[in-house]
Amino acid sequence: MAPNFVPIKIILFAKTFINTLQFSCSMLDKEEFTKIRKEMDALEQEREHVIQLSRDIISLSKRIIYSINRAEMKEAASYAKEIEAKKKELDRVKVSLDVNINKVAFQEYVEAVSYFEYAKSGNIPTKASLKVETDDFLLGLCDLTGELGRKAVYEVIKGNFSEAAKIRELVDEIHGEFLKFNLRNGELRKKADTIKWNLQKIEDVIFDLKMKGKLK
C-alpha cells in the first residue's frame, strides 16, 4: 500500500497558523518587558556610578587629611577642590542603593572639608554651607573630633602648645552641643559617645603640658 504524503503547502500553512495562534494567545505585553529591562540596565549603570563617585570621595577625604597632617596645604587645597566637584556630581544622582556607601561618602566629606577649613581659617563650616543631610553632618563632626585629637598631639610634638589648647576648646564646644541632643540608640548615638573619649585624650595632653609648666 502506498504511503500517505501530506502536501508541503499544507504543512507550511499549519506551522504558520500555529505560530500566529501562539503569538495572539500571549497574555504578556512583551514590549513592556523590553522597556523594563532597559530601565533596569540604566538603573544599574546609575548605581555603579554612585558607588564609584562615593569611593572617589572617600579616597579624596583621606588624601586631604593626610596632606594637612603633613602641613602640605597646597596639596590639601587641590584635593578639596576636587572633592567638591565629586560631591556636586553625587548630589545630582538620585538612585536608591542596597548599600550605604554614598552616606559614608557624605560623612567622610564633612570630616575632611571641616578639617581643611579649620586648618585654613580656624573655623568649622556650617551644615548649610556643606549642603548635606543633618545625620551626615553630625556623624562627620563626630569623626572630626578624632582627627582633631590626633592634630592636637602633632601640635604638641611641634611645640605649638597654644594650638593644642585651642583644639581642646573646639572639641569641648562640639561635645557641649551634642550633649543637648536627645539621641536614640543607633549609629549617631554611638559615634556621639566617642566625642567624650576624644575630648578626654586631648585634656590628658593639656593637663600634662600644664603640669610641666609649658602651658598656663
Give me the residue spans of the domains in the chain.
42-126, 133-216
- Which pLDDT does position 28 carry in this prediction? 83
In this predicted structure, the answer to whether residue 11 has a pLDDT above a threshold of 70 is no
86-105 average pLDDT score: 83
In this predicted structure, the answer to whether residue 71 has a pLDDT above a threshold of 70 is yes
Q: What region, left, alpha or beta, does residue 135 occupy, with left being phi > 0 and alpha being psi -120 to 50 degrees?
A: alpha
Q: In terms of pLDDT, which residue wins out, 175 or 16?
A: 175
Q: pTM score > 0.75 for this model?
A: yes
Q: In terms of pLDDT, which residue wins out, 165 or 9?
A: 165
d(CA 96, CA 130): 22
CA dihedral sign of residues 49, 50, 54, 60: positive
Band of the pLDDT at 100, cuts 50, 70, 90? Answer: confident
- Which pLDDT does position 139 carry in this prediction? 97
The domains spanning 42-126 and 133-216 adopt the same CATH topology: yes
- Which pLDDT does position 78 carry in this prediction? 98
- Which pLDDT does position 46 carry in this prediction? 81
d(CA 67, CA 113): 12
pLDDT digits (tens, 9 = 90+) for 152-197: 999 999 999 999 999 999 999 999 999 999 988 789 999 999 999 9
207-213 average pLDDT score: 86
Burial class (CB in 10 A: 0-12, 13-18, 19+), 54: buried
The CA-based angle 134-138-198, given to 5 degrees, is 175
Question: CATH topology for 133-216?
Answer: Methane Monooxygenase Hydroxylase; Chain G, domain 1 (1.20.58)
CATH of 42-126, one of 1.10.8.50, 1.10.10.10, 3.40.50.10890, 1.20.58.2140: 1.20.58.2140
106-122 average pLDDT score: 97
Q: Which of 42-46, 67-71, 129-133, 179-183 has the lowest mean pLDDT?
A: 42-46
d(CA 81, CA 178): 29
31-35 average pLDDT score: 83
- Which pLDDT does position 169 carry in this prediction? 96
DSSP codes, the chain: -PPP---HHHHHHHHHHHHHHHHHT--S-HHHHHHHHHHHHHHHHHHHHHHHHHHHHHHHHHHHHHHHHTT-HHHHHHHHHHHHHHHHHHHH-----SS-HHHHHHHHHHHHHHHHHHHHHS----HHHHT--HHHHHHHHHHHHHHHHHHHHHHHHTT-HHHHHHHHHHHHHHHHHHHTS-PPSSHHHHHHHHHHHHHHHHHHHHHHHHHTTS--
